[in-house]
Amino acid sequence: MTGDIVVRPMTAGDLADATRIFRSAFGTFLGVPDVGRFRLDLGTIEARFKTDKGTALVAERDGKLVGSVMAMDWGSQFIVGPLTVDPACWNQGVARLLTAEILAVAERRNPRLVSLFTFPQSATHLRLYGNFGFAPMFLTPVMEKPVGSATPLQRMRLFSTVPRIEQAAVLDESRDLTDASFAGLDLRQEIRAVEEQHLGDTILLDGAGPLAGIALCHIGAGTEAGDGALFVKFAAVRPSAPDEFERLLDAVDALAAERGAQRIAAGVNTGRRDAHRRMLARGFRAGLVGVAMHRPDMAGTLRPDVYIIDDWR
């Protein structure tokens, strides 16, 4: 260790090094034999940077990148992560500095709730975030299942097919939908990012009245899904609407089959007990398991009446 660590906004010129550190850090933590080739199919860092450059920071020492942190601004909920540090610089205070700086960004955005996903088996991670006032909540299994044979559904649209003149109204409907689960929750920026960056598509589930459900899906290599996968970044129906949740899961399967995906990946927090049970009944099985942490200690969307799929990695 030589010079001081400086935290600054991420630039487009940092993306290659930030992505390399992202792969190296997670690959090392997970015990991957060749960390240099870990998840080369993912485009997480670039996609999140393009979605909201104001929530992307890097740490450098002597002009060399040693870590980064990103966040997702979902209106009343601000999601921290991923935070990754070059393994050569672990236990040198880099993660602590990055956490402090991204929380300063959160304070300027003024959400009701700041959340993150971390590893429940890691005392180091739990202690780091606990020192910043985060409380551990419920487990979040990141689950997968093979794509089944599915037929296109009635009353299902894709955001990519909505005429541009109507898109603003549909985005406002999506905000009203998510607001029903947690006041102020707003995924409009994420829906725009999926469309503008060509990351996949957003399912719009129509009902008898207002919009019944949405599912923001990344599809394929270069996105947050990876090669051969459809990744449900966020999906929701209104609270206490299990039948609509089943319809939305059918719609996800139909889109995955149509786009040629081999598997569906989706994280669902176990605090949403019925949503979790229904996904298990459809054949979803957990691989990686994380724990949700909240600041302040409040339930947010982690309630039994909520039917939301999200993954905060």
Please report where in the chains the tokens 């450098």 appear, as a residue.
Answer: 60
pLDDT tens digits, one per residue of 42-88: 999 999 999 999 999 999 999 999 999 999 999 999 999 999 999 99
**Apex CA 220: angle with CA 278 and CA 151, to 5°?**
50
pLDDT of residue 150: 66
Per-residue pLDDT, averaged over 86-98, amounts to 97
pTM summary value: 0.96
pLDDT tens digits, one per residue of 256-300: 999 999 999 999 999 999 999 999 999 999 999 999 999 999 999
pLDDT of residue 41: 93
Is it the case that residue 1 has pLDDT exceeding 50? no
pLDDT tens digits, one per residue of 126-159: 999 999 999 999 999 999 999 987 666 677 999 9
**CA neighbor of 113 nearest in space, from 80, 68, 70:** 80
Give the whole-angstrom CA distance, residue 221 versus residue 232: 14
pLDDT of residue 33: 87
Average pLDDT, the chain: 95
pLDDT of residue 295: 98
The two three-digit tokens of residue 280, written as one number: 């298990």
pLDDT tens digits, one per residue of 172-184: 999 999 999 999 9
Q: Is 221 helix (H, G, I), strand (E, B) or coil?
A: coil
Is it the case that residue 2 has pLDDT exceeding 60? no
Is it the case that residue 202 has pLDDT exceeding 80? yes
**What DSSP character marks residue 304?**
T
* Domains defined for the chain, CATH in brackets: 5-111 (3.40.630.30), 144-289+300-310 (3.40.630.30)
Per-residue pLDDT, averaged over 4-9, amounts to 96
Per-residue pLDDT, averaged over 293-313, amounts to 97
